A and B are shown apart, each in its own frame.
Chain A
Amino acid sequence: MGGDHHTHLSEQHSSHRPAAQPWEPRTKLVSGIFFVFGVISVNDLRLLTGALLFAVLFALWAGLAVRQLIKKLLVLVPFLALMSLPLIFSTGIPPAPDRLILASLIVLKALTAMTFTLFVFTNQPIEEMLEAMEHLRVPAVITTTIYLAYRYGFLFVHEMQTTVRALKSRLFDARISRYSLGIYGELSGGLFIKSLNRSETVYRAMTARSFQGSIPIGAPRQVAAADWFKAAIPPLYIISLIIIEQVVL
């Protein structure tokens, strides 16, 4: 589950240095967020297909394997099916063309936005991204919280999996019942208690290392001309699509 993702990301960072990795993280982050918000503003199927191809090319250029990309995008299928199938068929068969178009727009936007999100985050160590956020004036309390939650989140996932395995080995029936829900409640409550106990230890350890509310970060990397150039491409591309939609189509 979560642990697999964690290992996978770590391996991805260490195994190769793809072309997009040296990209200065602040410009990459801003460019990525601009593109993703731009994508949801486009409402033409042909232009969105172009945006999806653009996002896929960027993701592949960033070093994401095709299989890995497909595997990650497949996670979206249940969410998208829940939204699009009732939208298409709720007023009867055959479905109205406008409903088919709306459902297709949702699917294309979701796939494009998530592909580009993967490009932004998957080949960049989270520490670099958080430093970039802090250099972009995101309050240190937020970046520090994200950093610690990321570090300890997988630990709790592991603890939870171990407890669930222990319950199953004692013939725990996971199906919904008053008894099983009580167990799930105690499992969750127990994890929250453990996290509070651990947070006290973490705080003591951090204050011993001069923690004053934020994790120290280095000076921002200088933004090179190549970074500006790369960062300009996705926003310019999405702006051009919006202009084409508004003016030409």
Chain B
Amino acid sequence: MHIADGVLSTPVAAGTSALTAAALLYSVKGMSEEEIPKTSLMAGVFFAVSLISIPVGPSTIHPLFAGLLGVILGRRAPLAIFVGLLLQAVLFQHGGLTTLGANTLMLAVPALFSYKLFYSMTGRPVFIRGALVGGLSVMVTVVLLVALLFLTDPRFGEGTLSVINILVAGHLPLAGLEALVTGAALKLIQKAKPEMLKKEETAAIGSS
């Protein structure tokens, strides 16, 4: 879900932009030369895979990949997410400049959370851990989205068929979908390129 320009109030848009600037500074701190192409190309893939459309009924949905990107990139994930979303806003009109901060934050927070959670559960199957962080990352995104809409205007939450109720209902199947896709993606990565996962993870795989 991309929030378009105009949906958020000025204080919310400015506040989330400032928070994203701080997240970017945290993300780029101590970044080595070698990490720049890696993060850039991951941002390129994040940009590309967001164009995957999975048919659901009369419409299509696409995975968010915040959890997957968080597990692979760790603290560099906010930078890759910001870059991917900037390109989507400028090239495909998905999102907008004033909501770039909010959209980045909605994915960067679950990405960092996924990184911590995934590597705190070593010893369990990668698919299970991947599915867990994939599903939870969507839920964290939805919670942040709801909070931003409420902060902007409580009318977004009024009525049975309110914007917030529809968004929450629409994201529930996405959480299940994201869980399976992230689990499958991380399982493949573990098999084909285990060094993409953190070093201690690779060591654990090697010793098991």
Q: Given that A117-B97, A185-B182 are contacting pairs, would A212 and B33 also be in contact in the complex, using a CB cutoff of 8 Å?
A: yes
With an 8 A cutoff between CB atoms, is B146 at the interface?
no
B19 within 8 A of A: no
Distance in angstroms between the alpha carbons of A191 and B28 in the assembled complex = 23
Q: For chain A, which range describes its interface: under 10, 10 to 19, 20 to 34, or 35 or more residues?
A: 35 or more
The answer to whether B45 touches A156 (Cβ under 8 A) is: yes
Q: A110-B6, A113-B97 are in contact. Are A181 and B44 (CB under 8 A)?
A: no
| Cα(A52)–Cα(B59), bound, Å | 30
User: How many chain B residues have a CB neighbour from A under 8 Å?
Assistant: 80
**Chain B residues in 8 Å Cβ range of A155:** 44
Name which residue of chain A comes closest to B49, CB basis: A188
Residues of A within 8 A of B55 (CB): 174-176
Flag if B90 contacts A117 (CB, 8 Å): yes
Chain A residues with CB below 8 A from B189, complex form: 189, 192-193
- A146:B97 contact, CB within 8 angstroms: no
Stretch of B113-121, B135-143, B161-169 with 4 or more beta carbons under 8 angstroms from chain A: B161-169
Interface pair B40/A148, CB less than 8 Å apart: yes
* Residues B180 and A182 in contact, CB atoms below 8 Å apart: yes
Point out the residues of chain A lying under 8 angstroms from B82, CB to CB: 142
The answer on a CB contact under 8 Å between A185 and B166 is no
Q: SS class of chain B's interface: helix, strand, loop or mixed? A: helix
Inside 8 A of A73's CB, which chain B residues have their CB?
93
Inter-chain contact B48/A141, CB cutoff 8 Å:
no
Given A106-B6, A107-B6, A150-B87: A75 and B54 within 8 A (CB)? no
Q: Do A189 and B41 form a contact, CB below 8 Å, given A114-B93, A121-B90? A: no
A188 B63 Cβ-Cβ under 8 A: yes
Q: A2-B51, A90-B161, A139-B28 are in contact. Are A40 and B10 (CB under 8 A)?
A: yes
Q: Which of A181-201 contact B (CB under 8 A)?
A: 181-193, 195-200
Q: Would you call A152 and B40 a contact (CB within 8 A)?
A: yes
- Residues of A close to B4: CB separation below 8 A: 76, 79-80, 83, 106, 110, 114
